[in-house]
Structure 1
């Protein structure tokens, strides 16, 4: 009884700590400027400024355009990540070939490399091919995900080998096995990876800031930063309103994939 109480108390404290920034964000998005800097915090404002703040969020910057950019970039990145991760993970999990263990060790090693490390070589390469300030500049550096390869490899290890042998007896090629047998069985793990990939690249500020020179291709995090002004000061009401709007797609994506996300994460740890 005491152990259960302590466990639930710790979970409750963790939930409060995680949700507190979002509560403050929503509260600020509803307030006028004078109440945002009030000495005492209260969640609901005395004078509501929600309409003006959310209106400014879409009119002072092209927020709808930035969100469309984010959807295009994240969808394209996930498509190519899955396209490369599934065959690579299948080869590492179910095929026997010289250098397989070494290749998997390199995948694990690549997980330790921060994304900031290859930023300069990637920038120079994209510049040489005249791809900077394009959708390609935002998509190409992320089309191969070593985490996706690792996650799918762990899931494929749980798939019975007899199923693959039966498919080979029926005359299916290895690529046909990947797309017709392994892909349908990997939907839970692929959904979990999709949610993680969507969140990571939707929230990415570092690389778009480097690769883009014009505002019309900005993704949501980069677009929100346009509310900051050194001369006039940051307008926190519309800024927090824009942040709330940009958080909605992440929330919807997780809620829609919640069951398969949990299933995929748990099933990848069976072996």
Structure 2
């Protein structure tokens, strides 16, 4: 191979950094899967090996599915995440369209407030949200898990950036055809922003599927618990944590997210980069 065909040092460095970063991110997941197929006696060994000497995966996964209502927890997660995503799109798309395509007083101020809201951790609002939920009488219901996330500053920002890349002539032509502003949003803008919708959907589902802090506050009924809160059933203060079934349950909870992301990764990347064109 000639010297001209060799990769430059900067490219080698970038690829090495990406490989190292990817390995560091994958290590906890590899460890989780490894612990999920090990017997209790091998979990706390000083030496680490991915494959156990005694395969204990069937026992751990069976216990994860039978000793707790894990399928119910995962169904709760599907219900909550689907409701949150549907309501977020219903709110964020029209708001983003208004910020991107309509001219009205204080538009820039409102967009600045959206950017400020992006900086606020959701945990800061936990106490006011709890008080509001108590006043509304929705604590310990599905509504308590959904209503704090209906308005997503990130969703408004992402859709707004993508809508900005759509030519104004498209909107003007739709108005000449007699479409209302809401019809333009749902019949033209959202279908054209499908990559952004998929990217936001992945962000939303992953975030709320893995959420533990707010569900720990909002619900007490085991039949309403989402997956991260439900798998805490394997925590036993007297006997200690049952790590094998716990890791098996965690693997089952994470697996759907990984499969969904791998299936939609092309649209995910396109949705994140599309708003950077303009």
TM-score in terms of structure 2 length? 0.96
User: How far is the alpha carbon of 1:99 from its aligned partner?
Assistant: 1.1
| Misfit runs of 4+, over 3 Å | none
**CA deviation after TM superposition for structure 1 residue 76, in Å:** 0.5
Alignment of 1:178 with 2:178, yes or no, is no
Instruction: Tell me the TM-score normalised to structure 1 length.
Output: 0.98
1:131 aligns with 2:159: no
Deviates more, 1:240-249 or 1:118-127: 118-127
- Please state if 1:83 is matched with 2:58: no
User: Deviations 1:2-44 (Å, cap 9, x if unpaired)?
Assistant: 2222221111111110111111101000000000011111110
In 2, distance between residues paired with 1:225 and 1:132?
20
Deviates more, 1:120-129 or 1:132-141: 120-129
Note the C-alpha offset of 1:157: 0.3
Deviates more, 1:234-243 or 1:8-17: 8-17
State the alpha-carbon separation in 1 of the partners of residues 106 and 9 from structure 2: 52
Q: Of 155, 161, 176, which aligns to 1:148?
A: 155
| Alignment-derived partner of residue 199 in structure 1 | 206
Matched, 1:30 2:45: no
Deviation at 1:114, TM superposition (A): 1.0
Aligned residue number for residue 108 of structure 2:
101
Q: Cα deviations across residues 77-108 of structure 1 (Å, max 9, x unaligned)?
A: 00000000000000000000011111111111
Q: Distance in 2 between matches of 1:260 and 1:39?
A: 43
**Stretch moving more, 127-136 or 199-208:** 127-136
> Structure 2: which 5+ runs fail to align?
1-7
**Aligned equivalents of 1:252 and 1:91: distance in 2?**
34
Aligned twin of 1:92: 99
Give the distance between the partners of 1:269 and 1:78, measured in 2 at CA: 23
Between the aligned partners of 2:25 and 2:130, the Cα distance in structure 1 is: 35
Q: Classify the secondary structure of the residue corresponding to 2:165.
A: coil
Q: Which residue of 2 aligns with 1:49?
A: 56
Unaligned runs of 5+ in 1: none
Give the corresponding residue for 2:124. Answer: 117
Inter-partner Cα distance in structure 2 for 1:225 and 1:11: 33
Instruction: Work out which of the residue numbers 256, 266, 275 in structure 2 matches 1:259.
Output: 266
1:12 maps to 2:19: yes
